[in-house]
Amino acid sequence: MLCEICGENEATFHYSEVVNGNKTEHHLCSECAAKTDISYYTNLLDGDGRLGQLLSGLLGMPVGGGQDDPKTHVVCPGCHLSYGEFIKNSAFGCAECYNVFGPLLDDSIKKLQGSVNHQGKKPYRLMKSMRSMNAQVSENDSGMNAEVTIAAGNDGARAEKKPTRASLSHEIDVMDKRLKQAVLEEDFEEAARLRDYIKDLRSRIEGADDNA
């Protein structure tokens, strides 16, 4: 199969794009793929472009999972998917998988580019989806994370009011939805950021006020 862009080279990168429920398959050669918005991923690929090969390359494991690597035996308690199976199938089994496998991915991404914060392009479909999701969250959660101040004493001093357990719990629910969406979009970096933020919110609940 020839590349759909240049029509000359053999297509070695294959992926599907879903827009408004319509699925479109694309077939590119490595040279043309490197020039598109998915260049961040294609620069890491070697082979037919499957996500499994990408993850295997990141983790230093062969496709299918290296049996000698102890990480392959780590199992998600939610769906019982092993880390080796995750690498082989290129997909999480449930939302809990990221909490289990996420730290392992974090280490690999840090080795690859120095941190878990991606510096480069993201696929347009992912960016569009994340913008839409963030807009919906902002609309439903307007004002929940705003700083609240109250007058303290006759001297006009200001003191920050502690967030309530209810407000923190609500924000955790919102962030958890965003985490699950990031996992579905396979945006591991965003999922890592949200996971750490949720952990911070949960730690703050202990010292939060019970009343609004």
Instruction: State residue 182's pLDDT score.
Output: 80
Q: Give 49's pLDDT tier (boundaries 50, 70, 90).
A: very low
The answer to whether 23 touches 17, Cβ cutoff 8 Å, is yes
- How far apart, in Å, are the Cα atoms of 200 and each of 78, 82, 120, 157? 22, 27, 27, 28
Strands (E), 45-118: none
The answer to whether 69 touches 55, Cβ cutoff 8 Å, is no
Cα-based angle 113, 74, 77 (whole degrees, multiple of 5)? 115
Tens of pLDDT, residue by residue over 144-196, are 444 433 344 444 444 456 778 888 888 888 888 888 888 777 788 888 888 88
Closest CA to 192 of 129, 122, 135, 109: 109
Tens of pLDDT, residue by residue over 117-137, are 444 444 444 454 445 545 554
CATH number attached to the domain at 1-49: 3.30.60
Report the share of the chain in percent with pLDDT over 90.
Answer: 0
Specify which residues 26 forms β-bridges with. 15
The answer to whether 159 touches 150, Cβ cutoff 8 Å, is yes
- Spatial CB neighbours of 93, under 8 Å, sequence gap ≥ 6: 76, 78, 79, 80, 81, 86
So where are the chain's domains?
Answer: 1-49, 52-104, 117-141+164-207
- Spatial CB neighbours of 24, under 8 Å, sequence gap ≥ 6: 16, 17, 18
Quickly count helices (H) and strands (E) in the chain: 8, 4
Provide the mean pLDDT of the chain. 65
Q: At what angle do helices 96-113 and 51-59 cross, to 10 degrees?
A: 60
Question: Counting Cβ atoms within 10 Å, is residue 3 exposed (0-12), middle (13-18) or buried (19+)?
Answer: buried
